[in-house]
Amino acid sequence: MGQQQRTEVEIVFSRGQPYQQRVSWAVVQSTDKAWLIQTPAGELWVPSYRWDRMPTALGACDNERKLNAVTNFLRDITSTHRDARVEVRRAGKGSSDLSVTVGYTVVVRCPESGRAIDELKRTSIVPASQLRADGDKWSVPRWVVAKKLKSGEGFKTRPEWHGMQALQAQLQAAFGAAMAGQAAAAAATFKAGQEAAERRAEADRLAANAKANRQALVAQDGELALGFARKKLTLDDLVGLGCRLYGWPRWLPGEHVDGPLEMTLAGLVSAVRSHPEFAAWREKNIHRQGTLLKAPKAPPTRQPDRVIKNCVVDWCEYVGPSKSQRRIDHRDEGCTVEIFGQKHEIELADGRFVVKMAGPNLKITEPEPARSEATA
């Protein structure tokens, strides 16, 4: 955008953030080299080339560096304002009752480097009406004593424009709001992280408690519940108790219980405990613990026609009354299937067994054959 089209100058703290703060001053007049901006303290000419070369005014720095850079820039350009005031000391009477003599220090600077090379004491007679006290300090408008300056000289104490306090307060308010928003956002992020960690810890604690409870169920009544169920109930009876099995778990007391088998046995114990006959049966047979379950019988001499390992099995079952049955589809991976003619004995990945006959409701997907390794 060209200089003649500039309508405002702005300083943005925390640019791009939800809590960003913006200070803007309208441009009321433009030249090739400067803009006349309207500020809360009055109009002020700003050298456009210096503003555009200042990265902080364009949002390239962090908030604190930006505040300091913009404040120093404004103090510098307002120090030559006609109404800027120079700190002086009273040095005596003037040429009349309406004037006083003031003293001040000027600095001589090297034209090439700008470095101070000398300090000179000067006095001037100024109108008494232009001298103003601020506590124990005195000042006069810059224009009153500026005519005493020679080429390469400047006041040792930088003149200060009366509007700088208002501009600095405006910038400081925006900076403070941006920093407060940044702190609030950081606190919210930290709190959210803490809450997420607490939720994860609570979920882990609940999962550990649930696992401990399942392990305790299996340890207390796993053998008794499974023994009772196999002797007194059918798999359909278990469904009425809230436990659906597709085959009796192959487990013996003392064997490690974890994963799906742990879930299956814990669910079986909970279901069987609700059976009205279990409590009495348990009391009668508790002394037989360790002998209620027998090891699986040796496999029959008949060998399967074929064995498929690590395959995917898709199968279905129909549940509900015959006139309103609904179909439930299953898909299990990592299965082992033994085929006896039309009969398929399927061992699922969690140790359960399902027996299905060949037909449209059974699909077996064999694993891809492993690549043979080349021999030397």
pLDDT band of 299, cuts 50, 70, 90: low
pLDDT in tens, 224-275: 999 999 999 999 999 999 999 989 998 998 889 999 999 999 999 999 999 9
For 345-371, the pLDDT digits (tens) are 999 998 889 999 999 999 999 988 744
212: confidence class by pLDDT, cuts 50, 70, 90: very high
Quote the pLDDT of residue 178.
Answer: 94
Residue type, 122: R
Per-residue pLDDT of 100-133, as tens digits, reads: 999 998 889 888 777 878 888 988 898 999 898 8
On the question of pLDDT at 63 being above 50, the answer is: yes
Mean predicted confidence (pLDDT) in 299-305:
78
Angle at 220 between CA 217 and CA 223, to 5 degrees: 95
Q: What is the mean pLDDT of the chain?
A: 88
**Alpha carbon distance 109, 113 (integer Å):** 8
| Among the ranges given (21-25, 283-287, 327-331, 371-375), the one the predictor scored with the smallest mean pLDDT | 371-375
Residues 6 or more apart whose Cβ sits within 8 Å of residue 137: 87
Query: N- to C-terminal Cα distance for the chain?
Result: 74
Task: Give mean pLDDT, residues 333-355.
Answer: 93
- The yes-or-no verdict on residue 153 having pLDDT over 90 is no
Residue ranges per domain, the chain? Answer: 85-159, 300-369
Whether the model clears a pTM of 0.75, i.e. scores above it, the answer is: no
